[in-house]
Every structure is written in structure tokens, then in C-alpha cells.
Structure 1
Amino acid sequence: MFTERASLAERTFLYRVIDFRSPQEFQLRYSGWWFRQTVQVSGITVWSKISWLDIDRTVRFSLPESIDPHGRDGRIEIDFSRGLQIRRFRVWIDDQLIYDEVT
């Protein structure tokens, strides 16, 4: 795992909770449970999708104004292994990699 800006708070199958310290302080929660993918930033849903047939491997969202008044763009990239185990989980804010987890 590479990061100096965040720490992994919780990790299970298709689920991550990451606490970020920089560029802003917030908690990111990703869930892919029960055919629904959601991303929450400090409790605010910033992206969701019903994923009956296909799980998105790239998720794009904007940080809420309460976290970042500039409304920067975020992106999550997920690589899966067989059985939908998360092999790599990366978080970007604008074009800056702020979290990179390899399992």
C-alpha cells in the first residue's frame, strides 16, 4: 500500500473505508455490495449505480462543497481479480494520486 495522505480504516469484500488527511480531510467509503455501487465522502453520497450486469472499474465524482469549496474532481480506479476480489484500489483527486492499495 502506498500513501502518505491516507490510512485504510476498513477493508472487506467489495468495500473500503479510507481516512484522508490531504489534500482535504475526509472519509471515503466505497461499497459494491448487493448489486449497487456507491461512493460516499464524509457521509455524502457522491456517486452510485445499480450494477446488475457490470461493475464499473472507474468511478468519477466531485468532492462536496462542504469538503472542498473548489469542487475538485475525484476518480477511483479498481482492478479486480477472479471472484471480484479487489486487487488494486486507487484514488485520484484531479490528476494527483492520493491513495494506491495493492493486495
Structure 2
Amino acid sequence: MKYIFEVTMKPGFTVEEYASGWLEASEIIQQSAGARGTFLHRKIGCRDTVLAIAHWDSKAHRDAKDDSRSEKVRSILARHAEVVSVTVIGEYDEPEWQVLPPR
């Protein structure tokens, strides 16, 4: 499943600063059962906004993760809560259909 959210930086905070903390927290979160990786995409034409996509084996795995186990993750998330705005786009199943380019 995919957990997708958009993050917009508040004035005075940069995407690079966000990405630094995001990478640190993600390395710890990715040790959770069912974690399959995260991706951060910068929005074209909007330098202060990114799209985050977290991949999980299942919604149950994502729901079971416990960010409170790590002081470092708690600290990063608390800091980000002050300097970014997060809009959850949603939780999505793996694709039922896909069209890939020929190889």
C-alpha cells in the first residue's frame, strides 16, 4: 500500500532542511515491520512543496508502526510540526492496473 501526503514549508524553512530530517526519521521508521521505502518528490514550479510516498506491505503494517519508540523520530516530527504544513492525500492499495513502456 502507499501512504501519500503533501508537505509545504512555512516561510523561513527550506525543502532541503525538511529532507534532511525526513531522511533521518525515515531510516529509523524503515526498520518497522512491513516498511518498503519512502520517496520524496519536489513539486514542479513550487520549490517549497514536496509529495511524500511511503510504501508498506499493508495498511495494517503502517498502522502498527510506532514512531514513539524513537526519541530521534519524535524530535524530528515535533520540529516539523512547527515548520511545515502536511496534507494527507490518502492511503492506496497496490495498483490493479498498470501500463509500462516497452523495453
With normalisation by structure 1, the TM-score equals 0.29
Q: Highest relative contact order (Cα 8 Å, sep 6+), 1 or 2? A: 2
Larger radius of gyration between Structure 1 and Structure 2: 2
